[in-house]
Structure 1
Amino acid sequence: MELTNKRLGRHGVLVSSLCLGTMNFGWHTSEEDSFAIMDRALELGINFFDTADVYGWSVERGHTEEIIGRWFAQGGGRRDAVVLATKVFNPVDRKANLPEVNSDGRSLSAYKIRKHCEGSLKRLQTDWIDLYQMHHIDHACPWDETWQAFDALVKQGKIVYVGSSNFAGWDIATACQEASKRGLMGLVSEQSIYHLDNRMIELEVIPACRHYGLGLIPWSPLAGGLLGGALEKYESGRRT
C-alpha cells in the first residue's frame, strides 16, 4: 500500500491520506498491541495520529495519551515522524488527583485550554502538539477568550495548529471569522463523523470547510465496524 501525503486544507502541513485513530488504545486494545499498531502505521507511511485527552475512559481518562507517550519515549525518531493531534473540551478527572476547579465543566475557557494542554503534553511526553482540536463547540464561552488562549499556546510553542471537531457549518464560519478579525490563522481542520450511512455533513459542514480552506478529517468512516463486517449476523432474532 502506497500512501500519499496531502496538505491539511489550505495550510502547509503535510499529513498522510489515512489518519490513525487511537480511541480504543488502552481499554479495548492492549498497550502491546497499540505499540505494534503505531509501529506498523509508520512503516506503511501513516504519519497522522489522532487522539483526545478523554480517551481511555473505562481505565482512566487520559490513559490513551499515556500509552502514546510511552511509545514516543522509546525514541527512534518516533515523535518527529508523527503529526500529532489531540483534543480539548471534556472533563478529565484523574483518580489520583484532587478535584480541580471547573473539573465538571465541558468548556473552551482559557483556564481549561491552558490546564488541559499542560496535562496532554505531560501524558504524551512531548513538548508540542501539532494539531490541538476543540472536541465540541462551546456556545457559552466567548470567542475572545477561546482564541486568546489558543494564540497564547501557539506563541509559547506548545501547539502549532488549531482544529475543530463535531462543529456545525455555522460554528465553523463563526470560528473562522472571529479568528480572522484578530489576525489569527484560525481553524485548519474539522473532524466530523462521516460514512456511507451518515452523510449529514455534506449539507453544511463540507461546504463550510471548502469555503474556509479547512481540511476534513472523517471519524468512524466504517460506522463503528458496521461497514467493515465486524458485526456478527445471528440466525435467529426477536421482535420487540
Structure 2
Amino acid sequence: MTRTPNILIVDDHREIRDALKRYLERNGFRASAVDSTKGMDKAMAESRFDLVVLDIMMPGEDGLSACRRLRIESDVAVLMLTALGEDTDRIVGLELGADDYLAKPFNPREVVARIKAILRRTERPPVALGGQYGGKRLSFDRWTLDVDRRVLIGSDKAQVELTTSDYQLLIAFLERPRMVLSRDRLLDLTSGRTASLFDRAIDNQVSRLRRKIERNAASPELIATVRGGGYCFMADVTESA
C-alpha cells in the first residue's frame, strides 16, 4: 500500500492491546487501541481504518456480534483474536465475515504477517492495464467493468471502485459465466493457493462482491451459491472496446 495502513485494536485486556499497538507502530503501521465495541464504533466514526483486530471474548457486545455488524456496515478487514480452543468458534467468526483468525497467546510477528497478508488481498489497486482485457469493457446485467481503471459503472453512471480481491474474483466469474466454480478453484484463480480446513476467504470475498453488484445481497441473482459445488455467475457477459 502506498500510504501507511491504519489498524484498530479492540481488546478488553489492556496489556495485550497496548503491547500490540506499540509493536504495530514499530513495524510501520498506524495503530489505535480501544477496550470495547463501543470504543470501536466511536473510533470508526472519527477515522478510517484498513483493518480491525477484534477480540472475541469481551464484556458487553462480544467480537462475534461486532464482526456481524461490521460486515453489514463496512468493508473494513477483520482479524479475529480468540483465546478459545474450540474450532467451532473460529469457524463461526470466519462465517460471519472475518478475514482471518489468530488464537491467543500469539506471537506479535505472526499478527503482523497476518495483517500484511489480509491487506494485500483487500487493498485498492493502482490504475493498471487489465491483462488480456486491457482497453476493454465487460458488461453484465446493469454493470460495465472498466478493466483498465478497475471500476464498475452502473446503468445510472454511478461508479464503484474495486479492491484487488474484488477485481480478481469478478474477473474469474466474468471469464466463466454460467460455470460452477468450486471454492478451491476460485481460491486458486484469485490468489494462487489451495484452501485450508477453515479457509472462508472466498466466501467472505463473494459476500463483499455481492454487496457491490447485487440489487439485494441477501437474495443474490448474479452470483448463485451451488450447494456442494461452490458458486456460479448467472449473467451473460459481453465485451466491448
Does the pair score TM above 0.5?
A: no
Which is richer in strand? Answer: 2
TM-score by length of 2: 0.31
